[in-house]
Structure 1
Amino acid sequence: MMGLIALVLAGMAGMAQAQSQSAYVRGALDRLDAVADGVSYSSNLSFDLSRVTAGQHFRRSTVPATGSAVRVTAACDTDCSRLQLRVVDFQNRQVAYEQPHTGASTLLFYPQAGQTYWIYAQPLDCSEAYCYVVVGVWQ
């Protein structure tokens, strides 16, 4: 999967910049994997890599199964040092949030039956016209 990220980044940016971003994202995901020790990766719900325009956010929905916690992990590239990550329910009520202080975040929440949740990941200090954001959802 990490090789796929490198290929996607290489296609979107210059080779030197892509290598730097790929190394940062790979390192961030390694840290997030360590934090998420014990989570069953065979039930990975989804994984996204997106290019986010400065000042904007990445948004995606998920409808997880009930009965166990959901872990959301996110990281932004080297052009961003702070990432805001939050999860809201279908009524736009915040169910999970982390105060943005680094470029990588992990949230844990317990879903209700059949409910749709929205995940928002926003690089807060993107130093370029856009930043790459990686978001993973595990259950």
Structure 2
Amino acid sequence: MESEVERIKKRKMEELLKKISGDGEKWPGKPVKVTDKSLDEVVNKYPIVVVDCWAPWCGPCRFIAPVVEQLAKEMKGKVVFAKLNTDENRATASKYGIMSIPTLLLFKNGELVDRSIGALPPDMLKDWVERYL
């Protein structure tokens, strides 16, 4: 059972997100392509950003690509999903110590707060992201 304090906190957070996002109108409903140069701009623009670090030759990356696409639609207005090709953006891969792909980086308020390595099943990936909402 949700306490009154929890309901108020949830309502206030929803109001804040609406104010920031304009009801999700300015939030992309699909993954945004980011590069070494554009990553910081994206992670600082939105409260929560999940960056899918991938490469075209990676089988598990291709497995989670449609999951990331679907979550970007479902979570529009709450979370922005981005895709970073690690073959083309080695500086970012090096900066965040990405040794295996797919690696998902989760940024909250511009700061890296978590990472997930490997292809998670859709329900686990969604649960992982929702922990930070």
**Could you tell me the TM-score, scaled by structure 2's length?**
0.28
Ranked by relative contact order (alpha carbons within 8 Å, sequence separation 6 or more), the top structure is 1
Give the number of the structure whose residues are more often strand, by fraction: 1
